[in-house]
Amino acid sequence: MIEESMVFWIGGIIFALSSLLFIVLENQNDSRKHLFNSHVFVSFITTISYCIMALGVATVTNQDGNVIYWTRWLFYAASCSILTLDVATISKKSREKKAEVVLFTALTMFCGYLASIILTDYRWIFFGLSTAAYLGMLFSLFKKSNQNGSNTSSIMWFVLVTWSLFPIVWVLAPTGFTIIAVDVTAISYLALDILTKIGFGIYITTRK
């Protein structure tokens, strides 16, 4: 068994480095001048999140003795809202649609936090509310995007497919049915974070 604090420290270092990488990437791409350095913030917020999890502060332990790192979801509320704002901006959504997408993303992650911190079966209510907000976000994002470039929809499909793996890990992990252990959970989320935040960010900031 791998010590999960090691996984979190590695995650912290990876995202600290990707923060620096995006400072370079986001300032050499002229087509992104209409955006704040959003991927720098996504990586920086994720760095903070991983350092807190590495210290093992602010966790709950469920009835099986498994540690649940619920802080992750509060940081996702910030970082993922920035990511969906970026996707909505690239897709040339209206200001109103952007507000909807950001609010739905924040509520998805906030309900994910509640579902993680509550240890009784009632947590599934919040899992349900999180799923409802997630569907609302996807609906706002996919609905009638006015004349977009061709790779816009590929971006949205990438978000749909990769982001939907997070709730699957949540269900398999100690937060759900404890089918996978705490360390495998930590590694799975790290792999998904690298894919959806660094991989996605590099694709977005380097495409022509």
What is the gyration radius of the CA atoms in the chain, in angstroms?
17
d(Cα 52, Cα 72) in Å, to the nearest integer?
Answer: 9
- The Cα–Cα gap between 14 and 87 comes to 23
Q: Which two tokens stand for residue 76?
A: 């996702």
β-bridge partners, 60: 68
Q: State in angstroms the smallest separation of the CB of 64 from a second copy.
A: 20
User: With binding defined as CB under 8 A, does residue 57 bind a second copy?
Assistant: yes
With H, G, I as helix, E, B as strand and everything else as coil, classify residue 60: strand
Which of 14, 25, 40, 156 is close enough to bind a second copy by CB under 8 A?
A: 40
103 binds a second copy (CB under 8 A): yes
Q: Which two tokens stand for residue 31?
A: 């087509």
Residue with smaller CB distance to a second copy, 16 or 181 = 16
In terms of CB distance, is 73 or 158 closer to a second copy?
Answer: 73
Cβ-contact 106, 132 below 8 angstroms? no
Does 44 contact a second copy by CB under 8 A?
yes
Q: Are 181 and 2 in contact (CB under 8 A)?
A: no
Site string for a second copy, 113-152 (x = CB under 8 A): -x---x-x-x--xx--x--xx--x----------------
Minimum distance of a second copy from residue 161's CB (angstroms): 25
Q: Is 76 in the site for a second copy (CB under 8 A)?
A: no
Task: Report the run of H or E that residue 67 belongs to, with start and end.
Answer: strand 67-68
Q: Which residues would be at the binding site for a second copy (CB under 8 A)?
A: 33-37, 40-41, 44-45, 47-48, 51-52, 55, 57, 96-97, 99-100, 103, 107, 110-111, 114, 118, 120, 122, 125-126, 129, 132-133, 136
